Chains A and B, each alone.
Chain A
Amino acid sequence: MEKLLEASHVGYSYHTMQGETPALSNINFTVHKGDFLAIVGPSGCGKSTLLSLLSGLLKPEHGSIFLYKPGDCTKAADPKPDSLQTPQDNILSHRQHLNQKSCHTIGYMLQHDHLFEWRTIEKNVMLGLEIQKKLTPETKEMVHDMLKTYGLYKFKDAKPSQLSGGMRQRAALIRTLALKPELLLLDEPFSALDYQTRLTVGDDIGEIIKKEQKTAILVTHDLSEAVSLGTQVLVLSKRPATIKAVIDIDFPDDISALKRRNSPEFKNYFNQIWKELNEDE
């Protein structure tokens, strides 16, 4: 399978006047196209930091993160990549990638939807396109199609506060998908929802991602969510986080996230991850 992202020996520390707090050390993993990587770990272990690093909002202190460009973007790429950070020619280091707005291929979905109350749903989901100046009749059409597909078209002129938590989260996903990201980063996107909504929205969003054939990295503290959505689970240790285990999750392709929860393997995976998490306590 085609490699999409590779993290090698990534480390990061937070600095304050009081001292240094190491958050991540020596993180190595690879994400292939079509993967759904779930990252679990004890709370405060640096999961969100990892996503910020992957998205390019933060720059790793050690090691590097490589993003393998999709074909049509390579010709626009910087002709002389950083010599230290290029194991291959078609790889760009993160900073360079982010400088090229035309090839912005990472979508980041935050814990809360952060829909702006002063915009309608339609304007909210088009915010990214607006900022990147990609608002054309075609992209508008695409956004409208997505709103229709995910049952929000009726609400396109509504204010975010008129929508339920699940609908808001779906709107936030459309906002992220409108930029056609190659890779989706999900930072506990369901944790602000109540349990019932969470299961259905988790299922929904899992389906949407599968249907749009996106690659995703999900950070969560909910083990069952990780097992029900992921194709691979990465278990992190306590801070400073290192990778404790990588567990492949193998379910038949056509089975939904909710159905996964009922299958017999589910419990085994759950227990396996649980054991990894609590090994040294």
Chain B
Amino acid sequence: MSEISLAQQNFLLTQKKHKRTVTVSRLCIFILFLVIWESAAQFGFIDSFIFSSPSKVFLCAYGMIQDHTLFIHIGITLFETIASFLLVTFFALIITILLWLNKRLSETLEPYLVILNSLPKSALAPLLIVWLGATYKTIIITGISVAIFGSILSLYTSFQSVDPEKIKLIYTIGGKKYHVLTKVVLPSNIPSLFSLMKVNIGLCLVGVIIGEFIASRQGLGYLIIYGSQVFKLFYILLL
């Protein structure tokens, strides 16, 4: 390593300082929030029965960690979310490829996809439970139904936006439609697939929680509903 000039050292120092200030300020805001909340509850500015307080939430969490119930519920929800996320990614990709391969199919199905996507999916959850029974499979399907149609639509749009000249290139060097798919369309859409996956993991969690709201005996959604029914509001706030 060559020697670092004074100006560079100064620059690095200011950068470090800047980073530290940001981190410290973030922590301060969090602590300040807890302190205000706790003291407001202690001094009776807010009703701690309704708004709970950090100490109650902490005690509750401690108790649930002690008897492992928290981990069970988190584990169930995590499993359901990941399962529906993986299935959404897989099916969205497969269906989008099919739509891309067959223009007639995609044009026929497009209005249906738009309608299905604009449906309030949380309203579907009770129906699904009636149809499929109150099992974890139903909850996974609820998670899928929230994310899949939007995924297909946005993935299909990004498939369509591949530079037609790049597709032409594949044909000029003797490729077929299969090569266009594997050499151009799929690799160039990996970034959009990843950004879609980031959105989907959140959507799947929402779907799974909705499913658990309605029918389950385990999971975070179940805890939230149970908490609100028995007025143990610190449950909900904990989550």
Contact = CB atoms under 8 A, between A and B. Distances in A.
A114 B187 contact: no
Nearest to A109: B172
Contacts of B184: 116
> Number of contact residues on A: which range applies?
20 to 34
B172 A57 contact: yes
Contact of A104 (B174, B183, B187): B174
B173 A131 contact: yes
A179 B165 contact: no
A57 B171 contact: yes
Given A112-B165, A114-B163, A114-B165, A128 B188 contact: no
Contacts of A175: 173
Contacts of A130: 183
A111 B169 CA distance: 10
A131 B179 contact: yes
Interface residues of B, number: 17
A220 interface: no
Nearest to B190: A118
B169 A132 contact: no
Contact of A131 (B163, B183, B190): B183
A55 interface: yes
Interface string A114-152: 101010000000011011100000000000000000000
Given A57-B168, A110-B168, A114-B169, A128 B174 contact: yes
B75 interface: no
Contacts of B172: 55, 57, 107-108, 110
Contact of B175 (A107, A111, A131): A131
Contacts of A128: 173-174
A169 to B, nearest CB: 14
Contacts of B187: 116, 118
B198 interface: no
Interface string B164-204: 01101111111100010001100110100000000000000
Interface string B42-71: 000000000000000000000000000000
A105 B166 CA distance: 20
Nearest to B170: A131
A101 interface: yes
Nearest to A111: B165
Interface in A190-240: none
A179 B188 CA distance: 24
A106 to B, nearest CB: 8
A273 to B, nearest CB: 28
A127 B165 contact: no
Among B170, B173, B183, chain A packs the most CB atoms within 10 A around the CB of: B173
A104 to B, nearest CB: 5
B173 A176 contact: yes
Interface string B9-43: 00000000000000000000000000000000000
B169 A101 contact: no
A107 B174 CA distance: 9
Contacts of A131: 170, 173-175, 179, 183
A118 B182 CA distance: 13
Given A116-B184, A118-B190, A110 B169 contact: yes
Interface string A58-87: 000000000000000000000000000000
Contacts of A107: 172-173
A233 B183 CA distance: 36
Contacts of B165: 110-112, 114
B163 A179 contact: no
A179 B173 contact: yes
A114 B173 contact: no
A179 B174 CA distance: 10
Contacts of B168: 57, 110
Given A57-B168, A110-B165, A114-B165, A132 B190 contact: no
B166 A132 contact: no
A55 B17 CA distance: 62
Contacts of B190: 118
Given A128-B173, A128-B174, A175-B173, 8 more contacts: A110-B169, A114-B165, A118-B187, A118-B188, A118-B190, A127-B183, A131-B173, A132-B174
Interface of A: 55, 57, 101, 104, 107-108, 110-112, 114, 116, 118, 127-128, 130-132, 175-176, 179
14 contacts: A104-B174, A110-B165, A111-B165, A112-B165, A114-B165, A114-B166, A114-B169, A116-B183, A118-B187, A118-B188, A118-B190, A131-B175, A132-B173, A175-B173
